[in-house]
Structure 1
Amino acid sequence: MTVRPATPADVPALTAVYGHHVEHTLATFDLVPPTEADRAAWLAAHPGGRHRVLVVERDGAVVGFAASGPFRARPAYDATVETSIYLAPTATGQGLGRVLYGGLFDALAGEGLHRAVAVIAQPNPASEALHRAFGFSHVGTFEEVGRKFDRWVDVAWFQKEL
């Protein structure tokens, strides 16, 4: 397996991985799968530095990605990033998430960041375990703030010092 920065050539795979989660999981509150143009614009907004996208390849195919992006638009939040990770359904439970997230946090180490935050729709014990393994701690839960698949969904907030 290989972890590397995402490139425009990865847009079809990024679109497929994320689209799966839009259509089948609570991992994102997007309700309509993105187009490749949507994902290309999203990737362009993560040029490197504090806001980047890494992919994990297995057997030459991209099977997941991790990203860091702005937490909030106001400048006082610049030293905080929101992180996320998505794997193809065929890539879960194999340690790829740990390798991928490890690569992301290694890449962020020299960027002068103070905090990373992650938002996890509930329930998602696998994502919680991954985040805790990387030093995130639970700081609160908003109850029934999202609605997907005809039900209300809680979101748990986690943070990590960088």
Structure 2
Amino acid sequence: MPDTQPATITIRDATEADLADIMEIYNDAVLNTTAIWNDNVVDLANRQDWFAARMARGFPILVAEVDGRLSGYASYGDWRAFEGFRHTVEHSVYVHRHARGHGLGRLLMHSLIERAEKGRVHVMVACIEAKNEASIRLHEKLGFRTTGTFLEVGTKFGRWLDLTCMELRVGEGG
């Protein structure tokens, strides 16, 4: 019988050296899922600009490593670009296709919520394709509540998509 050891999982801040792996995970989601409603993959320059913009605003980008291999990432950014919304963020969490279903999304989200609690965030918003039941269940387990569903507000793979919005109050903000 083979000796199996538990995986070593590390959640840490992303660095520029992680951007090629982040790009791979992002592009896989673009090409194969309805988690991202873009039709076009991005290049490394795009991820470098994204990284720089998040860093300039003081927003975290976290990565999950499994046995030293980058297997997921999470971040948040402005929900809406108006001053009155400055204490509300929208987050994203993506896990490599080979690492899904093993709790990495939950671990990344716990760490991201901790960062939001320590920061000046009052509410985290999740906007999830309405048929992505696994993501909706994960968010519910983390305390997010559904605030509504927009019907047929986007398209991908030749079909209309509905968007479920969820929120979590994480801190006092301001």
Paired residues of 2:130 and 2:149 also in contact (CA < 8 A)? no
User: What 5-or-longer segments of structure 1 have no aligned partner?
Assistant: none
Matched length: 162
- Report how far residue 53 of structure 1 moved: 0.8
Note the 1:58-69 alignment, pairs <5 A. Answer: 58-69=66-77
Say which SS state the counterpart of residue 68 (structure 1) adopts. strand
Aligned partner of 1:78 among 86, 96, 100: 86
Aligned letter for 1:86?
Answer: Y
Aligned partner of 1:56 among 56, 60, 64: 64
User: What 5-or-longer segments of structure 2 have no aligned partner?
Assistant: 1-8
Taking structure 1 as the reference length, the TM-score comes to: 0.96
Name the residue aligned to 1:122.
130
Deviations 1:78-121 (Å, cap 9, x if unpaired)? Answer: 00000110001111110111111111111221112110101001
Identify which range, 107-116 or 137-146, moves more after superposition: 107-116
Aligned letter for 1:104?
Answer: L
d(CA) in 2 for partners of 1:130 and 1:48?
29
- Report how far residue 128 of structure 1 moved: 0.3
Name the residue aligned to 2:45.
37
Aligned letter for 2:114?
Answer: D
Q: Over aligned residue pairs, what C-alpha RMSD do you find? A: 1.2
Taking structure 2 as the reference length, the TM-score comes to: 0.90
2:14 maps to 1:6? yes
Identify which range, 40-49 or 122-131, moves more after superposition: 40-49
Q: Which runs of 4+ in 1 moved over 3 A?
A: none
- Report how far residue 44 of structure 1 moved: 1.1
Say which SS state the counterpart of residue 139 (structure 1) adopts. strand
Aligned letter for 2:121?
Answer: L
Identical residues among aligned pairs (%) = 37
d(CA) in 2 for partners of 1:150 and 1:81?
30
Deviations 1:27-77 (Å, cap 9, x if unpaired)? Answer: 011110111110111111111875221000011111110111000111110
